[in-house]
Amino acid sequence: MRCFVAGCAVISLAGCGTLSGAQQSCESSLGLVAPEEVSCTGSVETVSGSPSLSVIEIGEDLDGAFSLETIITVGRGTAEASVTDIDDRRVGGQVSPGEPLEIGAVVYPEPAAGADEDTEEVEVQLEVKEGEEVEDLSYEATLVEQD
């Protein structure tokens, strides 16, 4: 099964930050023999403040823990990026031009805010210093069901 989501939007999170020019596409394989896997790629033209970025989004109800592997790059600026793992620890670091950030963690997908009740997502928390912007952020993320 393949799922494709794409869009171009300006997402403003009240008092938290802004993502503009966001695009995403996702594919999923529902595993009868192999574990379920969801892969997404996406980009954001500009980021400011401390918004959340959905790096995985799927129109299915996912249960249990999943292994997340994501790589984040930026064209200009510096940001802190992290996910919350199953032990409520923040896992991540800093991303800047020429220095991609790789995040690996075991996570629980959460219901997507403002979407269908079956839509689940994994979010990366971004933090850009006040008064600064990050441009040309892109990511690749893969979510694999844990055995």
Reported as a single tens digit per residue, the pLDDT across 17-60 is 899 999 999 998 866 655 688 999 999 999 999 999 999 988 77
Question: 11 falls in which pLDDT band (50, 70, 90)?
Answer: very low
Please state, for a pLDDT cut of 90, what percent of the chain lies above it.
67
Nearest C-alpha neighbor of 40 from the set 125, 147, 121: 121
Largest CA-CA distance found in the chain, in angstroms, rounded: 49
Q: Residue 120: its pLDDT value, please?
A: 87
Residues in the chain: 147
Both tokens of 2, joined, read 């393949």
SS3 content of the chain, % helix, strand, coil (to 5): 0, 60, 40
Q: Which residue has the tokens 């799922």?
A: 3
Nearest C-alpha neighbor of 67 from the set 92, 80, 85: 85
Q: How large is the C-alpha radius of gyration of the chain? A: 15
The C-alpha angle 116, 55, 15, rounded to 5 degrees, equals 80
